[in-house]
Structure 1
Amino acid sequence: MRARVEHVFARMKNWKILRDCRLKGYGVRWATSSVAHMHNLALTG
């Protein structure tokens, strides 16, 4: 159960990063690569 909750919080953080990048005008490629990096960290950690 705890792992599932942590996973949900990690996904929410990823969406926040993506949204912030879009609001600041960064490219979609940069935003998606940063989210992929966060996802990889979540998988390993």
Structure 2
Amino acid sequence: LALRLGRALTAWGARPLAREPHHVERVARMEFSRDAAARTLPQLPR
């Protein structure tokens, strides 16, 4: 059991790191909300 658990942990540790889910979508959403806020409050820096 310990050997199997160790092998599973090793496989889990060696997995390729996934990027943040849909990083491009998050950036686009942030830029959209920033532009919307800049339209609402013109004194905000873009």
Tell me the TM-score normalised to structure 2 length.
0.46
Which has more radius of gyration? 2
Higher helix proportion: 1
| Structure with higher RCO (Cα < 8 A, 6+ apart) | 1
